[in-house]
Chains A and B, each alone.
Chain A
Amino acid sequence: MLNPVDHSPASRRDQFKAAVGNVAGERRRKQAIIIGKERRDAVVRAKRMRRADDNDEGMMYDEPFSDKIINEETVRAVQELKFLFSSSSKDSSQKKIEALRKLRRLLSCSSNPPVASAVEAGVVPILVKCLEFGSSDEQLVEAAWSLTNIASGDSELTLAILPALPLLIAHLGERSAAPVAEQCAWAVGNVAGEGEQARDLLSSQGALLPLAKLLLLNKPMLVKTAAWALSNIIKGPSSKAAVELFKVDGLSEAIIRHLTKGDEELVVEIAWVVVYITSLAESQTKLLIKSGLLPPLVAWLSSSESLSLLTPVLRSVGNLVAGDNSNTDALLDAAKDLPGGLFGCLVRCLGSEHRTLQKEAAWTVSNIVAGSLQHKQLVFGSRVVPTLLHLLATSTFDVRKEAAFALGNLSVMPAGESQLPQPIMEHLSMLVERGCLPGFINLVKSPDLEASRLGLQFLELVLRGLPNGQGSKLVEKEEGLAALEVLEYHDNDDLRSMANELIDKYYGEDYGLEEEYGPGIAEVVRGGEEYPSWRKGWVVNS
């Protein structure tokens, strides 16, 4: 029966003088659920309505807010500031700080802050006024904070704060309170991020040395921000800034100390400073090495799991081995007690899940094996080679190309008097035997000129180097001849003539004719914000 009403005596009896306990308990348990729900709603509501940063009491916009309202409010806030800082105002400093804070919160709106409206309303001159000497720390921080937010905007907005730079830089000095210095460093860093011109301006206004001096302190937050700002300024391409830093006494030691003992976030920022020094300033690099740069560097390389840390550390190591061969020796020595030594560290990066690390590690290896015969032999005997072969066969194009550079450099003698690079027979035949040829032939077929040229040069080496004409048979077998024939009609003159010559020389009627080709290959400019555009070894200087 589906009758919805229960007419049983039991259900009717429950109504008779019902005990209060049953209903009350039910009601109490329901109440608990309602309380939970109310609290959930409150949390969600607060999150939805929050716009200022988490540490503040929270800026609640009960009314609907939109860009228009925020912009209007910003203009009003700027006008209020103008009035408060006008000479006629007698208002207390507390009131001024509150007004500054209000402005800063408006400029901190998470999405789409009303920076343009503030600049248009003339906020910068007032903020400059707020930065005057003798102002309270609180006022300085708030003003610098607003400037930081303005400088994080589009480039014209960044440039709008240029009038504030002298004072911002002035407050970087050692007599400023840490929060003030940090906030100013942050603003300066934002400006430096704008480009070369801004960096030059900052250097010329003397931002470098005070920032560098901040690195000497033991205040992690401050040092971190200063290092970040500094790395933005010394980026280059001119090495002037990176060199000038070292006018500060004890800088090398401070860098090494932070690199050794700092928390991970601090090490990241310091490591970026090291990246630019090792890339731009050779004698300063020597100074750092002498102060003990290498042990912490290789230690991080061997142990860190963090991509943001490994990136600058590996880049620095890459920069080092691209320099003097003695740098490589020093690195080998510094890493000798780590698992697998320096090559162990590099294999770790080559095997990383991050493509960028694989690529930078391969680039680093290619620079090591462009060095002395001894370095080539050391690498050849390590686990680096199977890893590179694997990458050449399976990885994405950019990684394959770097692996190919490394394997190529591994196969030739250090550049000597001879115009043609001489193969290291043991290395070459072994690599060919392990199946590297298809990888290089693939590169020959690539539309990337540099890769294609690299492939051709390796084929040439095989054709010329392997005894008894083995080379030509192997190349043909792996369809290298077909790849060469395609290049016979290539638009690029160099590639076309190289391919023609190889075919003529090793497969053509004019077999045996010696002709000269090759070393005059134009330097290839590599794009992007990557490791430096130059490389040692075979392709460029063979």
Chain B
Amino acid sequence: MAFEVTQILLNAQSSDGAVRRTAEENLKQFQEQNFPVFLLSLAHELANNEKPPESRKLAGLILKNSLDAKDASRKAELAQAWISLDNALKSQIKGALLMTLSSPVKDASHTAAQVIAKVAAIELPLREWPDLVGSLLSNMGTPQAQKPPGLKQATLETLGYVCEEISPEVLAQEQVNSILTAVVQGMNTSETNNDVRLAATRALYNALDFAQNNFDNEMERDYIMRVVCEATLSPDVKIRQAAFECLVSISSTYYSKLSPYMGDLFTITSKAVREDEEGVALQALEFWSSICDEEIEAQEEYGAEFSEDSEVPYFKFIKQALPALVPLLLETLTKQEENQDQEEGAWNLSMAGGTCLGLVARTVGDDIVPLVMPYVQENIAKPDWKFREAATYAFGSILEGPSLEQLTPLVQVAFNFMLNAMKDQNTHVKDTTAWTLRRIFEFLHGPNVDVPVVNQNNLSVIVEVLSEGIKDVPNVAEKICGAIYFLAQGYEGTSEPSSPLSPYIQGIIQMLLASADREDANESRLRTSAYETLNEVVRCSTEDTAPVIMQLLPAILQKLNSTLDMPVLSSEDREKQNELQASLCGVLQVIIQKLSALEITKFGILQCADQMMALLLRVFSCRNATVHEEAMLSIGALAYATGPEFAKYMQEFYKYLEMGLQNFEEYQVCAVTVGVVGDLCRSLDDKILPYCDGIMTQLLKDLSSSHLHRSVKPPIFSCFGDIALAIGENFEKYLAYAMPMLQTAAEVSAQGGGDDDELIDYYNQLRNGILEAYSGIMQGFKNTKAELMVQYASHILQFIESICDDPHRDDAVTKSAVGVLGDLADTLGSHVAILFRNSSSYQGFLQECQASDDQQLKETADWALAIISRIVSQ
């Protein structure tokens, strides 16, 4: 019943556009009209050795794409479509796929391996296709009955892909054991065919997650580690690289099992770093970076108090390897390539080595300083720029990790040298020097530093050096922006009306605007960094420079206005326009926030409000997600500044608000817009009422959509609360829609996230959103429509009780839950007295919160308990 599809598949790859389009159209029609036969025809094409490789490969790819997609909801649809196919048909297709593995045509067998993995991803979790693993393993043959290498290679690929697709618990332990046995045998030196060895090594990479039990068993672990280490010595570079990739993966998955092997691993990796080809050497360095990641995380996990019986394993491998490891890393630093700083995506030995050195410094702290400083001193003034750059990079790399006591004297001495080094002839050196200055400001400047590197005496010199540096090539200028960013941030949060940076603010703003305006500002992300730095400078500025910020406002508005008239002839033009608009809206947001915080400067914002709003509305009409997101944030800030006056803009603005709420695809836009609805509620109060029907409809649609990213849902619930607070009793008409959504979400969140940290975090956000909604609704109804909530009271109380009992609840949820308890009693009074009398858990929970160090939580708990006791005792 299969159809002949060869010609269409070939046509679909034709160089003639018309032919190609017709073929694609035919394929699409075929797929829509008879999906089962379509799939079967493709499988037959793939399996048929008499067909041309091109049509077979494409048949396989289309099959693969009919089983899987990136988008989660599309993926689920495709899986469902496959599941509902006739079983006999599915068997035919699967049979054809397995048969293809033995094809001498690599394209065909390789594609078949991928398709099998996609089918397995759907079927194995449903306990279907039980004989898959068995039939794959039988392809591997025995010493007595050898199978062709091509089949073994394709089979190992298949096993690797299957492991990549499914999670470990899907397979039974004996299946895992036989897969690992087959894979490790394929890697063994006794396997003479290099293609088979390579396929086996790559398969092991994917199968490592399945090997928990095997790594627990010392004998099996030793065997696996031996085979992997042997493979790092293979004459074939691809096998060596694949073997190091396995070691990297083992270093994070089985960190706790590594102790016995560390000596050998150091020997193997250092040899590779020094002698092997770059691809292999980079993986060898990555092994150490990955160990650093594990140890940094372990230290963060238990903070300062490390004890031997700590649950998180921490073996101080880096500290032990330090005397040998640091010299190895320093060696790599002089292996720079010319122009590596200008090339996006460049990655070489010196970059990887320097990055690893920075991680090592964070892992061991002070211990690294005496090992690195002699290298710095010896090389920082050498004639060869490679040594000067390497020394600077080494110095910059160790600025995070060691204590301030260790670093401060060093930096005090080196600081002037660094400022001078900005005059180096070599751009590469200047780039790294500027980056080092940024790190000095980031870690050694600010209110927490006792002996600040920056002081009244050198500030003017610093600003001068920065103002010269920012004129350099874009990659250097970008690093200077970073330096200014942290220089400004170091002065944040003083309650003083003036900052030491105040005299320079005007000049700094000018230089940042000038770099953003540079012709070459799109290189090295200079423009974005310049504007974000400007934002930080504005944000951290003090009262005395408010007039300067006030002057900045019209300049930014003028720039934003001129983007609207930019000639847009190409997609690059469009991109540039969008990037610029997004950045300028960002600046606008920060200026509005800053100026509206002070009564004396707020009027400046209010005066320009009409103009700003007109401009932002025009910006909205250029359709781009990032621009919308940023413009929304400006609107939010503006609404706070204007308060209820914002109502006059609502009619025109509303359609963009709605557009934002409808933007499922670019969910960040949707999320930001939901936040702005909250801002508007707080600014407009009941003047938002005329728009609430539309907004609520949209929010409810968002919630019921399976396409919207889940992270937007908690803020939508909070937004219900914002709306209810703003419109009070008028929320009544939405209640019948909102409450079931809230109740369902409450049930979902009560399931708990198990061990999945991400899920636990999400459920906490969800609960917080739900609780904020309940608070808002109850307070909105409090004086006039409280009785509407009576029917939901017991559900709400149960929900909170489930939260009280959950050890995973976070502080925000706790605080919100306490509030809702009080709101229940405050709003519903005697209606809920009986519920509280019959509830046991709330009291302990509230008393626990009363003992909290968090003053606000304590107050809220006091309030809630007082109000509940009053209604209970009545």
What is A's interface to B at a CB cutoff of 8 Å? Answer: 1-5, 7, 9-10, 12-13, 15-17, 19-22, 24-25, 28-29, 32-33, 35-36, 39-40, 43-45, 47-49, 61-67, 110-112
Contact = CB atoms under 8 A, between A and B. Distances in A.
B775 A44 contact: yes
Contacts of A9: 282, 286, 347, 352
Contacts, number: 149
Contact of A24 (B252, B282, B341, B532): B532
B208 A3 contact: yes
A22 to B, nearest CB: 7
A3 B252 contact: yes
Given A19-B528, A24-B533, A39-B640, A3 B209 contact: yes
A201 B355 CA distance: 93
7 contacts: A19-B482, A21-B529, A21-B532, A24-B529, A25-B586, A44-B779, A66-B866
A40 B722 contact: yes
B545 to A, nearest CB: 19
Contacts of A12: 286, 289, 347, 352, 355
A29 B722 contact: no
B789 to A, nearest CB: 15
A40 B678 contact: yes
A19 B586 contact: no
B829 interface: yes
A62 B776 CA distance: 21
A22 B505 CA distance: 23
A15 B347 CA distance: 11
A66 B869 CA distance: 9
A35 B354 contact: no
A485 to B, nearest CB: 47
A61 B826 CA distance: 15
A17 B482 CA distance: 10
Interface stretch (B162-170, B190-198, B311-319): B162-170
Interface residues of B, number: 84
Contacts of B479: 17
Nearest to A63: B862
B525 A35 contact: no
Given A19-B478, A22-B528, A24-B485, A7 B286 contact: yes
Contacts of B481: 20-21
Contact of A19 (B290, B358, B525, B775): B525
Nearest to B530: A21
B819 A28 contact: no
B725 A22 contact: no
Given A16-B355, A20-B482, A25 B822 contact: no
Contacts of B208: 1, 3
B272 to A, nearest CB: 16
Contact of B682 (A16, A17, A39, A49): A39
A114 to B, nearest CB: 13
Contacts of A21: 478, 481, 525, 528-533
B249 interface: yes
Contact of A16 (B351, B485, B531, B536): B351
Which 7 interchain pairs have the tightest Cβ spacing? A21-B528, A21-B529, A64-B862, A24-B532, A20-B482, A64-B866, A5-B252
B533 to A, nearest CB: 7
- Quick one: which of A22, A35, A36, A47 has the most chain B CB within 10 A? A36
- Quick one: which of B783, B826, B866 has the most chain A CB within 10 A? B866
Given A21-B529, A39-B679, A65-B866, 10 more contacts: A1-B164, A5-B290, A12-B347, A16-B347, A20-B478, A29-B629, A39-B640, A40-B721, A49-B863, A64-B862
Contacts of A3: 208-209, 249, 252-253
- Quick one: which of A10, A17, A43, A110 has the most chain B CB within 10 A? A17
A82 B484 CA distance: 65
Nearest to A20: B482
Nearest to B436: A17
Interface in B466-481: 478-479, 481
A13 B637 CA distance: 35
Contact of A28 (B535, B822, B829): B535
Contacts of B252: 3-5, 7
Contact of B536 (A24, A36, A39, A47): A24
Interface string B799-822: 000000000000000000001001
A7 B863 contact: no
B826 A22 contact: no
B542 interface: no
Interface in B434-465: 435, 438
Nearest to B482: A20
A321 B801 CA distance: 61
Nearest to A61: B863
Interface of B: 163-164, 167-168, 205-206, 208-209, 245, 248-249, 252-253, 282, 286, 289-290, 293, 341, 345, 347, 351-352, 354-355, 358, 431-432, 435, 438, 478-479, 481-482, 485, 524-525, 528-533, 535-536, 586, 589-590, 593, 629, 633, 636-637, 640, 672, 675, 678-679, 682, 715, 718, 721-722, 725, 772, 775-776, 779, 782-783, 819, 822-823, 826, 829, 856, 859-860, 862-863, 865-866, 869-870
Contacts of A7: 245, 248-249, 252, 286, 290
Contact of A20 (B347, B533, B779): B533
Contacts of A5: 252, 290, 293
A62 B859 contact: yes
A28 B540 CA distance: 13
Contacts of B536: 24
Contacts of B829: 111
A20 B485 contact: yes
Given A19-B478, A28-B586, A36 B678 contact: yes
A517 to B, nearest CB: 51
A454 to B, nearest CB: 37
Given A2-B167, A64-B863, A29 B209 contact: no
Nearest to B532: A24
Nearest to A42: B682
Contacts of A39: 640, 679, 682
A32 B248 contact: no
Contacts of A44: 725, 775-776, 779, 819
Nearest to A25: B532
A435 B352 CA distance: 98
A15 B478 CA distance: 15
A2 B758 CA distance: 14
Contacts of A40: 678, 682, 718, 721-722, 772
Contact of B633 (A10, A32, A66): A32
A43 B681 CA distance: 11
A26 to B, nearest CB: 10
B682 A43 contact: yes
A2 B675 contact: no
A19 B523 CA distance: 12
A121 B295 CA distance: 70
A67 B867 CA distance: 9
Contacts of A2: 167-168, 209
Nearest to B668: A29
A63 B859 CA distance: 7
- Quick one: which of A5, A49, A66, A110 has the most chain B CB within 10 A? A5
Nearest to B637: A32
A49 B725 CA distance: 15
A15 B400 CA distance: 13
A356 B819 CA distance: 41
A48 B819 contact: yes
A35 B683 CA distance: 13
B532 A1 contact: no
A40 B209 CA distance: 45
A3 B478 CA distance: 34
Given A3-B209, A24-B485, A40-B682, A48 B863 contact: yes
A282 B860 CA distance: 61
A458 B190 CA distance: 114
A40 to B, nearest CB: 6
